[in-house]
Structure 1
Amino acid sequence: MGPRIRILTTGGTIASRPAPEGGVSVAVPGHRLVTAAETAVTTEVREVMLEHSFNLTRARMLELAGRIVAEVRDPEVDGVVVTHGTDTMEESAYLLDLLLPPGSTVVFTGAQRHAAEPDGDGPRNIRDAVRVAADPAARGLGALVAMAGLVHAARHATKADTLAPEAFASPGHGPVGRVSGDRVRIAFHPVRPAGFDLAEMAGPQPRVDIVPVHPDADGVQVAACAAAGARGLVVEALGAGNPTPGVLREIRSCVADGVTVLVTSRCARGPVTPVYGAGGGVDLAEAGAVFAGSLRAPKARVLLATALAAEPRPDRALARLVPHLGL
């Protein structure tokens, strides 16, 4: 018997068609998606939801992660594929990567062209994702994103184009593999530090906000997030991790009040590091903010929220998340 692949469908562009009321809406059931893909591997389809991914919340993503982890643990399943909208695929995939048991592989895929397009990319992406999930060379890679013939590690994958089929990239790292015809080529295995247990996510989910830094940013957004009850903040700073004076002032206040702050960059590539004084990253570090390495803001938010859910005390949360920085 060949490998048995379980496909979980959630909606997204890959499952969408033009709607009578205008725009494109999710409408294609999971079994039709997989039938259209004509995979040569034994598959079983389970429809989890029919949603655009821009409507998903962290709570829904955790529900999805729970379903996926259950499938991974099923001895009757050899691999798992998840179809998902591309807008927030990187958040769902990275959250799952933090929660997956060691030795697991789950492949996310989607489409940039809806299901009624004559040159839709969904069927090929599903076939490729199934090939990756079924290939022994891909075992233990964690959560992956497979689209347009490329395979990306969830930690590094980001949506890099709004509409083109080559939707995802791994800036500064590159893909971990490729799919060429029926062949899967894995170039390297991503580093995956010890993650979190799904049971640790059972309690209330902490509020974690992202604050962008730009010229004239006066810190009012930082203060508003703190007033709204944020327990964590991700600062999307300038360059290598530099704030404006107003943002720096409010970050000092937040850290003093027990809010955990991670610093990322608005640049597409490169790590953040405290280089500049006179109000720059050195001052952020001295204020108690933690630099998030090469993680960009969306993933830093996922990581910080996951750590704070598992460990309400900021010092313990930081101890859990620090191994995931600087990779």
Structure 2
Amino acid sequence: MDLVSITDVRNAAADIAGTVLHTPLLRTGWDAELWLKPESLQPVGSFKLRGATHAVARLTPEERARGVVTHSSGNHGLALAYAARAADVPCRIVVPEGAPAAKVDRIRALGVEVLLVPPARRGPEAERIAETTGAVLVPPFDDRRIIAGQGTVGLEIAEDLPDVDVVLVPVGGGGLSSGVATAVKALRPAATVIGVEPEFAADARDSLAAGSVVVWGEERTYRTMADGLRLPPSELTLAHLRARLDRIVTVTEEEIHAAMGRLVTDARLVVEPSGAVAVAARLFRAAELPSGRTVAVVTGGNVDPAVLAGILR
């Protein structure tokens, strides 16, 4: 399989400049060798803006006129809506009924078309729209443009901390971890890139062990509060992870909860559960990790206010 290269990631960096924030590396007050990469500071509150912006930038003039479509109730839909608006490209987001009203309102506020459908119809409806209108389907992670765009996180880490020893990156569908591992391994071959998953959604860990995609299913992965990490990798992302990720560690729900609290109170970052898993690994799995200068990717801050209130109690 043809994997994304560091050249692809560099091209993505050029494409997203001006729309996506180059997030800083933040030192932590509790760990002298830990830096945070706060993607929660992006205009849409997550790293997803990188891949979405790159995908939109790669459209041909004819594709731009036809627009883009995806299905999402969360960060990917919000990111694509923002990227499409910034580029003046028509956009439709298929949202499953029952999605949080606050998220749907944020997507609508960006001026894109939102279609509410039964949850089981979200994927087929987005595909139907793509087929009937010619709109370009932009998936959340199973796409080379998305992987290259997310890889700019790793590019920035290597530029800002050239002697980084360890990078901890959350793993869900694998787009971010594939891109980060691609960039870091190309620019800092001696560094170790470790994926982090919830114990309740460790399908990427099992997929790497099996050598093929292992699907846990939503009836198992719904148990984790890290809702952004409930999907399994695709064949494309698994190929990247097998080639470039060193390994995966898992964290418990209690550890995710504690990491969120540490980030809110000590780093003054609002984070969602999925965004806290890399820090949870550093806090509670240090014995399983290499020592040295470590960067934990904080992937997003779009947390439900009720969940945040529970963390702070």
Global fold match (TM > 0.5): no
Considering fraction of residues, name the structure with more helix. Answer: 2
Q: Which has the larger radius of gyration?
A: 1
Q: Relative contact order, CA 8 A, sep 6+: which one is greater?
A: 2
Considering fraction of residues, name the structure with more strand. Answer: 1
